[in-house]
Amino acid sequence: MNILNVQDLVTFQATETVAFYAVAIVAICLSLGVIADRNVIRAGFVLIGVFGGISLLFLMLQAQFLALAQIMIYAVGITLVVVIALMLTNPRLEKEAEAEELTGERAPLFAMVDAVKGAFPAVVGWFSFFTLYLAVRSEGWNVTDEAVSPDNLKVLGESLTTSYSLPFEFASVLLLAALIGAIMLAKAERKSTGSEIETVD
Amino acid sequence: MQSELSESKPAMTKFVWTFVYACLVVICVFFLLGQSTNVDGNQSIMKGDLDATMFFGITAAGLIFHYVFGASALGCLAVGSVGSFVLLTIGQEPLVRYLTLSALLFAIGMYGMVRSRNAVRVLMSIELMLNAVNLNLIAFARYIDPGAVKGQLFAIFILTVAAAEAAVGLAIVLSVYRTTQTVDMNKFNLLRW
């Protein structure tokens, strides 16, 4: 930063602001697409876009290691698992459910209760966003101007192996347990067919 | 009768009313931008709660445009959330911008988690929420604590937990699907007594 003069700094900040808004708007629109898309498989692929956008934001926040880890773990690993799970289950579920709801007739009072129940998640989401925003805005953050040190990966590695080594080990145990648990849960016991569902071991 | 009426309404009107709503939101944003470039404009905006008032106004206008004029729901939602995000953060410092974005993503994820009927989509929404938390932590690491980047450290742990959660959650979904032949959240009542 010492090489830059004030004018350059202002232009840099303006560029950063524009880039932030561009990426943020794309991420918001894509995440709305994730929750609203009728086609769940497409929603799974749109999720890659959201994760990519957020990893760009990580790059802007000078967290290079986490940006790449984000792409590797979320955008490739988790999304792959999600899409495979979608293909193994019933991706047309929500379309069918919607068709069912349209055909059913309800009494007006029940319809009103249903409408209120349906609006409840939106109200909760709106309200939590607004509350969080008010809390964030009115807090006096003491922001420092200094940049993240260029060798922040070294700092991260050192603290992971010294002061945070116990949580690190716990995380590895958690991953191992999750791996074994997922295999145990998803493993097919026998060649189960639809007729065998009624039989109890 | 109701559905026939709404289907016979041409798609053009829907689009036009969504466009009118978008124009309204853009005008609001530019108005607030003009206010915030004044001397001490940002302080006066926050003191008079102008941004919160305009956020309320945008929400109410979106509801009116959707339910009265029949603008498209998703269009109104997208325009309203993007518009109010820009409106609320336009004069703020960068940390508040990142925190607001993360709050918005968290709220969207929460809405999707409660609303969706497909169990896999619920898991996708949870991933979205965890990502919003990560963004929060990394913004703190950048602006509050750039020396010892503790926020990034906790983000690494959240990444681990998210991976474990996705693996176990999807295995549970697959297992339940094998038993009940459905991934409908409304029909997951195996544990009901």
The CA-atom distances, in angstroms, between B149 and each of A199, B121, B160 are 55, 33, 18
- Token pair, residue A98, equals 């919607």
Q: Domain check: are B62 and B13 in the same one? A: yes
Q: For the ranges B2-6, B87-91, B115-119, which has the lowest average pLDDT?
A: B2-6
Number of structural domains, chain B? 2
Helix (H) or strand (E) holding B102: helix B94-115
Q: Domain check: are B73 and B150 in the same one? A: no
Please give the share of chain A, as a percent, with pLDDT higher than 90.
25
The per-residue pLDDT for range B89-101, each reduced to its tens digit, is 887 888 889 999 9
**A57 Cβ under 8 Å from any chain B Cβ:** yes
Q: Which residues pair with A158 in a beta bridge?
A: none
Q: What is the CATH number of the domain that holds B104?
A: 1.10.287.3510
Q: Domain check: are B18 and B81 in the same one? A: yes
Residue among B150, B193, B117 nearest A167 (CA): B150
Structural domain including A27 reads: 1-91
Maximal CA-CA distance, chain A: 77
Q: Domain check: are B97 and B79 in the same one? A: no
Separation between Cα atoms, residue B36 and residue A175, nearest integer Å: 48
**B48 Cβ under 8 Å from any chain A Cβ:** no
Q: Domain check: are B105 and B87 in the same one? A: no
Residue where a domain terminates, one of B30, B65, B92: B92
**B176 Cβ under 8 Å from any chain A Cβ:** no
> Tokens 């690494």, residue?
B156
User: How many angstroms separate the CA of residue B170 from the nearest CA in chain A?
Assistant: 7
The per-residue pLDDT for range B117-174, each reduced to its tens digit, is 888 889 999 999 999 999 999 999 888 888 778 888 999 999 999 989 988 988 888 8
Q: Is A57 part of any domain?
A: yes
The CA-atom distances, in angstroms, between A61 and each of A13, A97, B141 are 13, 42, 9
Separation between Cα atoms, residue B98 and residue A153, nearest integer Å: 22
Structural domain including B151 reads: 93-193
| Interface residue of A15, A112, A136, A145 to substitute, partner B, most B CBs within 10 Å | A136
Interchain proximity A82–B170, CB inside 8 Å? yes
Q: Domain check: are B112 and B156 in the same one? A: yes
Q: Domain check: are B124 and B39 in the same one? A: no
Name the 3-class secondary structure at B184.
strand
Higher pLDDT, A44 or B149: A44
- Token pair, residue B104, equals 């918005």
Q: Domain check: are B58 and B120 in the same one? A: no
The stretch B52-68 carries a mean pLDDT of 83
pLDDT of A201 above 60: no
Q: Is A123 part of any domain?
A: no
User: How many angstroms separate the CA of residue B63 from the nearest CA in chain A?
Assistant: 12
Q: Domain check: are B109 and B42 in the same one? A: no
The per-residue pLDDT for range B154-167, each reduced to its tens digit, is 999 999 999 899 88
Residue where a domain terminates, one of B92, B109, B144: B92
When CB atoms are compared, the residue of B81, B135, B146 closest to A28 is B81
Q: Which residues on A lie below 8 Å from B116 (Cβ)?
A: 35, 94
Q: What pTM did the predictor assign?
A: 0.86
Number of structural domains, chain A? 1
Q: Is A131 part of any domain?
A: no
**A124 Cβ under 8 Å from any chain B Cβ:** yes
Q: Domain check: are B102 and B83 in the same one? A: no
Helix (H) or strand (E) holding A3: none
Q: Domain check: are B148 and B87 in the same one? A: no
Q: ipTM score of the complex? A: 0.86
Q: What is the pLDDT of residue B175?
A: 86
Q: Domain check: are B180 and B193 in the same one? A: yes
Interchain proximity A63–B138, CB inside 8 Å? yes
Q: Is B118 left (phi over 0), alpha (psi -120 to 50) or beta?
A: beta
Q: Count Cβ–Cβ pairs < 8 Å, chain A vs chain B.
A: 270
Q: Which residues are within 8 A (CB) of A85 and not within 5 positions of it... i.e. 6 or more apart?
A: B120, B170, B173, B174
What DSSP letter does each residue of A61-113 carry, written as one string?
A: TT-HHHHHHHIIIIIIIIHHHHHHHHHHS-TTHHHHHHHHHHH----HHHHHH
Report the chain A residue with the minimal C-alpha distance to residue B78: A29
